Amino acid sequence: MKKFVVFIIAFSLILVPSLFVTSAVFSQPCQNTVAVSDEESLEQELDDAISDQLGDIDLSEIEQILQNTENSELFGGMSFLDKVASIINGDFAKDSSSIWEALLNLLLDSILTFLPIIATVVAVSILGGMVQNLKPNFGKKSISSVIHFVIYGVVIVLIFTIIMKMITLTSNTINSLKAQMDAIFPILLTLLTAVGGTVSVSVYQPAMALLSSFIINIFTIVLLPLFLISTVLALVSNLSNNVKLDKLISFIHSLFKWIVGIIFTIFISFAAIQGITAGAVDGLSIKTAKFAIKSYLPLVGTYISDGFYIILASSSLIKNAIGAAGLLLLAGTIISPIIELIIFTLALKLMAGIIEPLGDGKIASFVNTLSKNMTLLVSMVVAVSFMYIVLTGLVMCSANIL
Amino acid sequence: MFSSISAWILSIAGIICISVIVELIMPEGSVNKYIRSIFSFIVVLVIISPLPSLIGKSFDFSQINLENNYTLQEDYIFQVNVYKTEALQQDISLAIGDAGYENVVVSVSCDNYSTDFHIREIFVELENLVMLDKAEHTNIIDIENEILELIKSRANVEEGRICFER
């Protein structure tokens, strides 16, 4: 049962955004009850309206962000405007094989960067373990303690160089997500206003402000230091035999998880409930106007095409396409940090596994605790980007009245 | 707030490092385990030391800035409103033409600078009215009423905002 629910949720998460795009793209021309001969002229009219409106909207900020992004493979070298235009035309991902290739390259690259560190740490700690096991009996316990300290120091220096890199990577990723939100959200709100979703705008504007300032601040000011604290405690905890801080570390882990979980749940539920309600209200207010027209006009043929609704439809199409392109940009931004973080977490686990039988038990448990810590960083990036995705998806699906 | 947290963490780390060093240089003997327990006690003290000061302390959340209002792109909204106005004007003229009245000039005046699309007034000039064969009415008042119905079905405005010029 539980698995089934999870499957349904995952499936709908995957399917829903793509549905928005495709349904928005394909539903527009068909809904207008038009004779077959007029369909082409209607499409032409829609195309004209879309290109007019695309020229009017100011995308300079997001174009600049796109140029500064390193991984723009998902955009295939296109500008943001071109990508939006191609999404409107229906080719969402033209060459999916190249995306997979880029992803695979990214994966191999990050594995290769961590391989030397894994090898060095494993070699050092195994060497240390062998020295401790094979040393002549000096009769003193402190010799082995000193050896332990030396090896521990080397391992710490090696691993912390990468952990520092991971921390800057995470905070950079979150900051660039914030920059993207600040660029995309005003455009989406503008388009939502143009479509006529004034109630939705009044709901989404505070939600977006909350996400891009308050929640991101909590992530960088509160949660990133919590990660650092638990890392330092993990380091200290394995230093001596008689003072253990494992429970304190697990307290900080659960504090972190509770904070992320509460923020996430409250934000998503509020945004979703309010957004869906507001979207329904907006949809109704515009639909009533549309039905009024249908009931008043009795004859087919007197009523050829409705220019007003073509303008609305093109705004709505542009809104959805810009949302989709923004999500694509988001994917391009987060995919490489997430892959790197996950590979590093796995590498730490692998190190712990290799070190444990031969080397020092304390170093193995230190590395294992670090790998648990790294999942906190992954969850930070994933949580922020998921809230962004949900908000953009809600904006895309609200006020799609036509 | 955050500097005190880092001080707390550093003191935990420091006291553990000191205990480890003391453990290293201490000769073996019966005093050893007492010193160990004393150090454990100190570690516990250091860990719980910030807890009493948390009670009754009010936190300053003013650092977290919530004022992040996005400004809409007014130019775009204005432009789309202009498009909408033009489209509406064209729709109405087409409908009137279909009903059999030609040379009727319709001009829609909208509040283009506001974010929600409001129709101020619709002017209909009937000066050069030409009636075709399919026109239902010949009386000017009937024609006005028919045009009024046509416009109301399309534009969702009150009757008072539609003006006729003969």
Structure confidence at residue B65 (pLDDT): 57
CA distance A104 to A3: 29
Per-residue pLDDT tens over the stretch A65-117 = 888 776 556 666 778 888 888 888 777 666 667 778 888 888 998 899 889 98
Which residues in chain B have their CB less than 8 angstroms from residue A146's CB?
A: 24
The residues near B8 (Cβ < 8 Å, ≥ 6 apart) are: B46, B49, B50
Backbone angles phi, psi at B122, to 5 degrees: -125, 120
Closest CB to A242 among B5, B40, B156? B40
pLDDT score of B63: 58
B122, β-bridge pairs: B108, B162
Q: What is the pLDDT of residue A164?
A: 92
CB-based contact A49:A310 (threshold 8 Å)? yes
The span from the CA of B72 to the CA of A185, in Å, is 9
* Nearest-10 Cα torsion for A103, A90, A207, A226: 0
Instruction: Give the pLDDT of residue A25.
Output: 41
Mutation test of the interface with chain B: which of A141, A212, A242, choosing the one with the most B Cβ atoms within 10 A? A242
Residue A402 lies in a domain: no
| Residue A181, domain extent | 2-397
What would the pLDDT profile of A250-266 be if each residue is shown by its tens digit? 999 999 999 999 999 99
- Cα-Cα end-to-end distance for chain B: 76
Residue for token pair 């740490």: A121
Q: CA torsion, points A164, A170, A172, A174, in degrees to nearest 10? A: -160
Q: What is the pLDDT of residue A18?
A: 45
Task: Pick the residue from chain A with its C-alpha nearest to B42.
Answer: A243
Domain count along chain A: 1
Q: Which token pair is A321?
A: 């396409």
What length does chain A have? 402
Q: What is the C-alpha separation between A186 and A172, in angstroms, rounded?
A: 22
What is the nearest CA distance from A15 to chain B, expressed in angstroms?
A: 30
Residue A309 near residue A135 (C-beta atoms within 8 A): no
Residues of A in contact with B110 (CB under 8 A): none
Residues B77 and B116: their CA atoms lie apart, in Å, by 9
Return the C-alpha torsion angle A73, A77, A80, A84, nearest 10: -80
List all residues of chain A from 200 to 219 with a beta carbon under 8 Å from chain B.
201, 205, 208-210, 212-214, 217-218
Does the distance separating the beta carbons of B12 and A213 come in below 8 Å?
no
Q: Residues 6 or more apart from A132 whose CB is under 8 A from it?
A: A144, A147, A148, A360
CB contact under 8 Å between B36 and A242, yes or no, is yes
Q: How far is the C-alpha of A383 from the C-alpha of A380, rounded, in Å? A: 5
What is the total residue count of chain B?
166
Contacts of A232 in chain B (CB under 8 A): 9, 13
Other Cβ atoms within 10 Å of A153 Cβ, number: 10
Which of A232, A244, A253 has the alpha carbon at shortest distance from A156? A232
Distance, in Å, from the CA atom of B134 to the CA atom of A312, rounded to the nearest integer, reads 32
Q: Would you state the pLDDT for residue A166?
A: 92
Nearest to A388 by CA among A227, A217, A255, A271: A271
Identify the structural domains of chain B with CATH numbers, from first to last: 2-63 (no CATH), 74-165 (3.30.300.30)
Query: For position B59, what pLDDT does the model report?
Result: 64
Q: What is the pLDDT of residue A72?
A: 59
Chain B residues with beta carbon closer than 8 angstroms to that of A205: 69-70
Residue A125 has pLDDT above 70, yes or no: yes
Q: Looking at chain A, which residue has its C-alpha nearest residue B80? A: A194
What contacts B73, CB < 8 A, 6 or more positions away? Answer: A57, A58, A186, A187, A190
- A75 vs B142: CA distance, rounded Å: 59
Q: Report the distance separating Cα A373 and Cα A228, nearest Å.
A: 9
Q: Please determine, for residue A17, whether its predicted confidence score (pLDDT) is greater than 60.
A: no
Residue B123 β-bridge partners: B107, B163
pLDDT in tens, A189-247: 888 888 877 788 888 888 888 888 888 888 988 899 899 989 988 988 888 777 788 89
